[in-house]
Structure 1
Amino acid sequence: MAISQTNLAWATLLEIGATEPGRRGRRLHDRLARALRTAIRDGRLAEGAAVPPSRALAEELGCSRWVVTEAYGQLIAEGYLAARTGSATRVAWSPDPDTAPPRPARPVPAPPPIRYDLAPGLPDLRAFPRRRWADAVRAVTGSAVHYDLGLPDPAGHPGLRTTVAQYLRRSRGADAHAAAVSVCAGVTDGLVRTCRALRAEGIADLAVEHPGWGRLRDAATSVGLRLHPVPVDHDGLSVDALARTPARAVVVGAAHQFPTGTVLSPARRARLVRWAREVDGYVIEDDYDAEFRYDHHPVAVMQGMDPSRVFLLGSVSKTLSPALGLGWLVAPAAMNPALRAANPVAAAPPVLDQLALATFIDRGWYDAHLRAARRRFRARRDLLVRTLGAQLPEARVAGTAAGLHILLHLPDGTDTPGAVRTAAAAGLRVADLDDYRVQDAADRALVLGYGNISDTEIPTAVALLREALAARTPGV
């Protein structure tokens, strides 16, 4: 008799398989013994547990009783089961606790859902240009020639490298050419590649802004570089403090420092380039969201001041979406051989995605998207600042001129980490400035992003923030 595959308990648990056509019942007892043995070894049948009577299990499996008694007899001989006259046959073996599969962990209560997102790091995902991007993907899928679909160039497709170089020259004031551009998965990927090249060239010390984005620090340390935090003031990175470190390379957000929002002053820019020449080193410019400047025209990149000493990193993570995984690295010409040699297995993003971005830029859709985004983010920033001023007059707002986040300086004594937790419990995500520091500081501040929240949600989000801060501020 064939074994039913719809039995609920033993047939499903033991997974003894179907009987082979023309060989009804043959070797079935071996398969049943193997299934029982596995169930005992992995702990599904615990020591001391009674197995079903042979007649009952035979009926459940739709086989002869002989099959079950033969399987039981084999396992008794092996010591997995024990039979006593007048008593049920029971499991006599238990797995070694050091090798047994872990028991399922007790379910951990899920954190409360986040309804309002004021954390930095994301653009307006609701406004992703789905139709235009789909048009670009459709266009390149139909027009890509056969050799575009072969093994990709690790430096990126020549079409996108040319387009990126042209875009950076006209919109960011860069001194960029296609040969110097490498397509990468984003700023972090570009920094890892750069750090590998620097280390291969004998540079082991890297300066980073303090406070700063933690993922960039992690990227540098993953390559084995020693980090030296350098303070940031109202004019940006302190070049005097940088000069006191052994670093010969520095990562800097010249156009819009994260998270303070400061812009590197013209005097500091010139001094930083001179420093790189004096120490025979390099500046790594993180141009992560410089397209969004609201009170003035965007500030040109430092790379144009000395392309032989400045690496330029950029991506579409803050302008379109981090899910695209598309970015670029513009390297000094003399460093390109070292860059390629230090990253022999580096892979560029998928070619069709690269061609889609090139098409998206070449057809003017990227510029149109950025113009609309700047208008939208300027209005949203103004709304957020007004709402904070009305509901939290004791706090001070800074860093509003550009980007997708602001700083909210809080009264002395505020339990900022506690306020962040209280806000999260209420469904509001915010970030503590201390999360971006490598050492404690006296001032208390939150980093509030306004990219991934709608205008209509801002009043409610700020009200929740006010309640969270009131619960964590002495005397309130």
Structure 2
Amino acid sequence: MADSWVNSAERIGADLHLELSGQGGRRAALTRALREAVRSGRLAPGTRLPPYRSLAADLGVARNTVADAYAELVAEGWLTARQGSGTRVAARTEPLRPAARTPDKVPPRARGPRHDLRQGTPDASAFPRTAWLASYRRAVQQAPGEVFGPGDPAGRIELREALTEYLARARGVRTEPERIVICSGFAHAVRLLFGQGGGGVLRGPLAVEAYGLDFHRGLLATAGVRTVPLPLDEHGARVDRLGRERAVLLTPAHQFPTGGPLHPERRAAVVDWARARDALVLEDDYDGEFRYDRRPVGALQGLDPERVIHVGSVSKSLSPALRLGWMVLPERYVEGVLAAKGEREGWASVLDQLSLADFLVCGAYDRHVRRMRQRYRRRRDRLVRALAAHAPQVEVTGVAAGLHAVLRLPPGTERSVVKAAAWRGVALDGLAAFRHPDTDMAPRDGLVVGYATPSEHAYGAALDALCGALPPE
């Protein structure tokens, strides 16, 4: 007998796949199929089964065949039947559990760290679920029918208009909706801009900061882009070392990971370089909203919208799970980026785009950012106080903004401290992991400590474990 698909969602709440096979006729086959569905857990205790007539019609069998199969399973204890509530899976049945495998065939499951102090993610428990859900509902209710078809590769106009207003107000970005292309984040932007094997909108060589994300350097290498490291000092990237590169990638609002904004004179200098060389500046504005000790540094793009590509996302402000970002492009690059993206939106959910547009317009995004700015500032202050009390010999830098701090360590101690932290259940990164392999800068020993990821109740224990792993005076 062939498999049968029972489409009974309106009756039992889910589709039910039953395989009617084997000897003994249709009733026996149906009885075996139902019994196996209950035994395996596919039909959970309490699930209401379709009425006799409905299931018989779906399977193409006689009504009495279904009635007899139900009756047999009721007698065996697999099902229960009560007047007015129909036939249901018995509450006392348990799904078949897989046979226990011998220890030598089961690899041990890796235990995650007890304390996650790695950089790069916000406090997931702080996601504004209620406010986001309200925006999502409004977006779905008000969405025109076209929303549920193929998406515009540029992104929904509602979101691009909302971003135009927000970025101008909060980050000093000068743009218009036609120059914004929605993407899924910075990595997606890099793929669109540089393509594969040099076939993108931009070409190398590309100057980058001597310390940065190895993941980004890997994406560029995959695209066939050679990266040239720029040294760093207390004023940010040494843009005076720029030469014949076609573009430069910077984190000017808050250098990642060492901290600190690009000095105003260097901001002006890099724009002058781009104008003189007919080059571009790629601005990664990864955490521009989170500045604690003075007003946020405006976006570099505001100095010259035709020479700076501004890239941002909600990965730090809301959640990386949303996969929503944006590129603010010079006019001459819009067409090429859209061509690279394709005729349809294949990356960022259109409904999430509309939800973010509403979230921005109704003011919920601003309220959330202000609330999280206060929370992260308190966490930063707790980190600084804990280090001052328990490890005063450790210098803390890069704490004026962002979601992480850099702890300077004595030369030659970084690797042992990272191991000591891991032994105490603390996950964090050493500064060496972010160093460009071709830089001529002297290595710096340090830790990159993310203070946003732990939940509020777990943060104190994480700080205690961190302090315990640091070298003594």
| TM-score category (smaller protein) | 0.7 to 0.9
List aligned pairs for 1:132-211, cutoff 5 A.
132-196=131-195, 199-200=199-200, 203-211=203-211
Q: 1:208 to 1:20 in 2, by over 3 A?
A: farther
The one-letter code of the counterpart of 1:388 is L
1:232 corresponds to: 232
Unaligned runs of 5+ in 1: 1-14, 25-103
| TM-superposition CA deviations, 1:304-359 (whole Å, max 9, x none) | 11010100000000000000111111110011122223333663411111000000
1:92 corresponds to: none
After superposing the two structures, state which structure 1 stretch, 432-441 or 282-291, moved more.
432-441
Q: 8 Å contact 1:115–1:427 — kept in the other structure?
A: yes
Q: 8 Å contact 1:292–1:403 — kept in the other structure?
A: yes
Does residue 271 of structure 1 match 2:269? yes
Q: 8 Å contact 2:432–2:443 — kept in the other structure?
A: no
How far, CA to CA, are the matches of 1:126 and 1:259 in structure 2? 24
SS in 1 for 2:311: strand
Larger radius of gyration, structure 1 or 2?
1
Q: 8 Å contact 1:166–1:176 — kept in the other structure?
A: no
Unaligned runs of 5+ in 2: 1-18, 29-102
How far, CA to CA, are the matches of 2:24 and 2:248 in structure 1? 69
List aligned pairs for 1:427-446, cutoff 5 A.
427-439=425-437, 441-446=442-447
How far, CA to CA, are the matches of 1:347 and 1:259 in structure 2? 31
Q: 8 Å contact 1:290–1:403 — kept in the other structure?
A: yes
2:256 corresponds to: 258
After superposing the two structures, state which structure 1 stretch, 424-433 or 161-170, moved more.
424-433
| TM-superposition CA deviations, 1:208-258 (whole Å, max 9, x none) | 111001222122222221111212211111112222xx4211110010111
How far, CA to CA, are the matches of 1:200 and 1:326 in structure 2? 21
1:447 corresponds to: 448
The one-letter code of the counterpart of 1:211 is Y
- Superposition TM-score, scaled by structure 2 size: 0.75
How far, CA to CA, are the matches of 2:23 and 2:432 in structure 1? 65
Q: 8 Å contact 1:112–1:424 — kept in the other structure?
A: no
Q: 1:267 to 1:396 in 2, by over 3 A?
A: same
What is the CA distance between 1:163 and its match in structure 2? 0.7
Q: 1:286 to 1:442 in 2, by over 3 A?
A: closer
1:31 corresponds to: none
The one-letter code of the counterpart of 2:222 is S
SS in 1 for 2:135: helix
List aligned pairs for 1:361-440, cutoff 5 A.
361-414=360-413, 416-439=414-437
How far, CA to CA, are the matches of 2:405 and 2:444 in structure 1? 15
List aligned pairs for 1:16-415, cutoff 5 A.
18-19=22-23, 21=25, 106-196=105-195, 199-200=199-200, 203-243=203-243, 246-344=244-342, 347-414=346-413
What is the CA distance between 1:199 and its match in structure 2? 4.9
- Superposition TM-score, scaled by structure 1 size: 0.74
SS in 1 for 2:195: helix
Q: 8 Å contact 2:391–2:470 — kept in the other structure?
A: no
SS in 2 for 1:250: strand
| TM-superposition CA deviations, 1:358-397 (whole Å, max 9, x none) | 0011000000111111111111111110101111111110
Q: 8 Å contact 2:158–2:357 — kept in the other structure?
A: yes
What is the CA distance between 1:401 and its match in structure 2? 0.5
How far, CA to CA, are the matches of 1:202 and 1:356 in structure 2? 31
Q: 8 Å contact 1:231–1:238 — kept in the other structure?
A: yes
1:87 corresponds to: none
The one-letter code of the counterpart of 1:203 is R
Q: 8 Å contact 1:325–1:349 — kept in the other structure?
A: yes
Count the aligned residue pairs: 378
Q: 8 Å contact 2:408–2:446 — kept in the other structure?
A: yes
How far, CA to CA, are the matches of 1:289 and 1:212 in structure 2? 14
Identity of aligned residues (%): 41
SS in 1 for 2:242: helix
Q: 8 Å contact 1:191–1:313 — kept in the other structure?
A: no
How far, CA to CA, are the matches of 1:442 and 1:148 in structure 2? 51
SS in 2 for 1:261: coil
What is the CA distance between 1:294 and its match in structure 2? 0.5
What is the CA distance between 1:105 and its match in structure 2? 8.4
How far, CA to CA, are the matches of 2:443 and 2:251 in structure 1? 24
Q: 1:199 to 1:236 in 2, by over 3 A?
A: farther
What is the CA distance between 1:16 and its match in structure 2? 13
| TM-superposition CA deviations, 1:53-75 (whole Å, max 9, x none) | xxxxxxxxxxxxxxxxxxxxxxx
What is the CA distance between 1:111 and its match in structure 2? 3.2
After superposing the two structures, state which structure 1 stretch, 220-229 or 118-127, moved more.
220-229
The one-letter code of the counterpart of 2:22 is A
Q: 8 Å contact 1:387–1:459 — kept in the other structure?
A: no
Q: 8 Å contact 1:294–1:378 — kept in the other structure?
A: yes
The one-letter code of the counterpart of 1:235 is H
CA RMSD, 1 decimal: 2.6
Q: 8 Å contact 2:211–2:434 — kept in the other structure?
A: yes
What is the CA distance between 1:141 and its match in structure 2? 1.6
How far, CA to CA, are the matches of 1:353 and 1:459 in structure 2? 34
SS in 2 for 1:368: helix
Q: 8 Å contact 1:209–1:231 — kept in the other structure?
A: yes
The one-letter code of the counterpart of 1:124 is D
SS in 1 for 2:410: coil
How far, CA to CA, are the matches of 1:342 and 1:135 in structure 2? 34
Q: 1:215 to 1:20 in 2, by over 3 A?
A: farther
Q: 8 Å contact 1:394–1:411 — kept in the other structure?
A: no
How far, CA to CA, are the matches of 1:157 and 1:17 in structure 2? 50
What is the CA distance between 1:183 and its match in structure 2? 0.7
